[in-house]
């Protein structure tokens, strides 16, 4: 079936309890995806669970645990349409315990909406999310300054938080003056600035949430590069068989083509491709797909596997050299340090076997050859050795598969980009 409109992947991120899921639910309600009857059902359910006012959040937080705890745990994908786009809405968890799922969400997105509660302003998680969006290659971002009702729609408070956010966004490399800061109140239908301008913020002259989504542009699709599909999940569906799910990062996937999964080195035949419960003949970069594949079973591949073609298979690294930026670390980082690298959907412990050079963060030039250690705020060239086979590509070959986040001690230590791979 032909796609009627171009397709945009939009991730919603924000600190826990800043109203992200509620705002997404409001968006789904305003675009007709959630009906008034469904909303009434969610309202009853949220009341029964002692989570009054969570009815909109239940449109995206669908698991019993998410509803009981009132936090987003897993990634949720919902579809809605604007005047310009078919949008896949990716709800990424805000709670720090589930940050690895947020990284996956960011890696799937063409654009991001950062949700910040105006009464609370910038929080540690807000800073981490902004850094991760940048390192996961999300170039377009807008901000929803939410819960305006809690500050009485006060323009001065809105401006103060906006200035804090502009400094934060500029510090990681975003052009802060080009970003829109939309005042929203997800629970107040009259004041939500989702579909229509709110009379309660007459001082705000920018776009509504839906207008902002249509103002995002689609990144150029790297269809000329080799096929890469990081696998997010693998399902067994009765009557169909094994169905891997993931986002096409580069290249094209066609029906009835032969594919290979790495690092497992398993080949298979793609029998059908599905996107949002519709069969498609070809999937292109940006498409979140499920596909049936003959020649594999659920146990042979897993989250973290990467699909490509046998003539240009995904690269499995024995070691890889990367340019890294250290965001935070309580002490210093030396050779032997083994954090977890998040690349695509893979999470692999990787040991630093060499610190080749410390760089000047501003110019990128070499500051010190082979330093003894690096610390918070440093940029460096390091060599990593994965503890088990993992796929990563060189930036010059497939940039979409070259960036990664560095995690340890429940926090994001830094980020990097692979510049050279020594193949396994």
What pTM was computed for the model? 0.70
Q: Phi and psi at residue 101, in whole multiples of 5°?
A: -70, -35
What lies within 8 Å, CB to CB, of 93 at 6+ separation is 71, 72, 73, 74, 75, 99, 101, 102, 105
The answer to whether 10 and 87 have CB atoms below 8 angstroms apart is: yes
226 DSSP 8-state letter: P
Fold equal for 229-308 and 316-423? yes
How far apart are the C-alpha atoms of 315 and 179, rounded to whole Å? 36
Predicted local distance difference test score (pLDDT) of residue 74: 42
pLDDT of the residue at 54:
47
Q: What is the pLDDT of residue 405?
A: 86
Q: Are 8 and 88 in contact (CB under 8 A)?
A: yes
Q: Check residue 65 and give its pLDDT.
A: 46
Residue spans per domain, the chain: 7-215, 229-308, 316-423
Check: CB of residue 39 under 8 Å from CB of residue 187. no
CATH of region 7-215: 3.40.50.300
CA count, 13 A, side-chain hemisphere, 266: 16
Element (H, E) at 253: strand 253-254
Homologous superfamily assigned to 316-423:
Translation factors (2.40.30.10)
List per-residue pLDDT tens for the chain, 424 residues long.
Answer: 345 788 888 988 888 777 777 888 888 888 888 776 776 666 565 555 554 444 455 555 444 443 343 333 344 567 888 999 988 888 765 444 445 555 656 666 789 999 999 999 998 888 878 887 887 778 899 999 999 999 999 999 999 999 999 999 998 889 999 999 999 987 776 768 988 899 999 999 999 999 999 999 988 889 999 999 999 889 888 888 889 999 899 999 999 999 999 999 999 999 999 987 788 999 999 888 999 988 898 889 999 999 999 999 999 999 999 999 888 899 999 999 999 999 988 999 999 999 999 988 667 788 999 999 999 888 899 999 999 999 999 999 998 899 888 999 888 888 888 999 999 8
Q: Tell me, what's the pLDDT at 43?
A: 59
For the chain, the distance separating the N- and C-terminal CA atoms, rounded to the nearest angstrom, is 41
Q: 285: burial class by Cβ within 10 Å (0-12, 13-18, 19+)?
A: buried
User: Which of 28, 88, 15, 82 lies closest to 55 in space, CA to CA?
Assistant: 28
CATH superfamily label, 229-308:
Translation factors (2.40.30.10)
Q: How far is CA 264 from CA 167, 268, 300, in A?
A: 44, 12, 8
């Amino acid at each position: 079936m032909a796609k009627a409109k171009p397709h945009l992947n939009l991730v919603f991120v924000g600190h826990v309890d800043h109203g992200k899921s509620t705002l997404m639910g409001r968006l789904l309600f305003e675009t007709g995806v959630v009906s008034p009857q469904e909303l009434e059902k969610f309202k009853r359910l949220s009341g029964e669970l002692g989570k009054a006012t969570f009815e909109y959040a239940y449109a995206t937080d669908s698991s019993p645990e998410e509803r009981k705890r009132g936090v987003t745990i897993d990634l949720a994908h919902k579809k809605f349409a604007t005047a310009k786009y078919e949008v896949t809405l990716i709800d990424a968890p805000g709670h720090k315990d589930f940050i690895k799922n947020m990284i996956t969400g960011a890696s799937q997105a063409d654009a991001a909406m950062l949700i910040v509660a105006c009464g609370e302003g910038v929080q540690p998680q807000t800073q981490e999310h902004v850094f991760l969006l940048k390192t996961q290659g999300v170039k377009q971002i807008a901000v929803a300054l939410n819960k305006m009702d809690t500050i009485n729609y006060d323009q001065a408070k809105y401006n103060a938080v906006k200035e804090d956010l502009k400094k934060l966004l500029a510090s990681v490399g975003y052009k802060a003056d080009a970003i829109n800061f939309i005042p929203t109140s997800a629970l107040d239908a009259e004041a939500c600035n989702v579909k229509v301008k709110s009379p309660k913020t007459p001082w705000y002259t920018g776009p509504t949430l839906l207008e902002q989504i249509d103002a995002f542009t689609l990144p150029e699709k790297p269809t000329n590069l080799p096929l890469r599909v990081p696998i997010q999940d693998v399902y067994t569906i009765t009557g169909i068989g094994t169905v891997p799910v993931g986002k096409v990062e580069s290249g094209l996937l066609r029906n009835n083509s032969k594919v290979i999964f790495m690092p497992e080195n398993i080949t298979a035949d793609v029998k059908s491709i599905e996107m949002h419960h519709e069969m498609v003949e070809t999937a292109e970069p940006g498409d979140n797909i499920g596909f049936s594949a003959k020649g594999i079973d659920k146990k042979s591949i897993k989250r973290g596997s990467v699909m490509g073609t046998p003539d240009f298979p995904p690269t499995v690294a024995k070691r890889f050299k990367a340019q890294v930026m250290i965001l935070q670390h309580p002490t210093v980082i030396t050779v032997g340090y083994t954090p977890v690298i998040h690349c695509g959907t893979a999470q692999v412990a990787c040991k630093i076997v060499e610190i080749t050079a410390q760089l000047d963060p501003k110019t990128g030039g070499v500051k010190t050859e082979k330093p003894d250690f690096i610390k918070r705020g440093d940029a460096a060239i390091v060599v990593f050795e994965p503890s088990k086979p993992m796929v990563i590509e060189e930036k010059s070959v497939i940039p979409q598969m070259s960036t990664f986040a560095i995690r340890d001690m429940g926090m994001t230590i830094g980020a990097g980009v692979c510049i050279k791979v020594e193949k396994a």
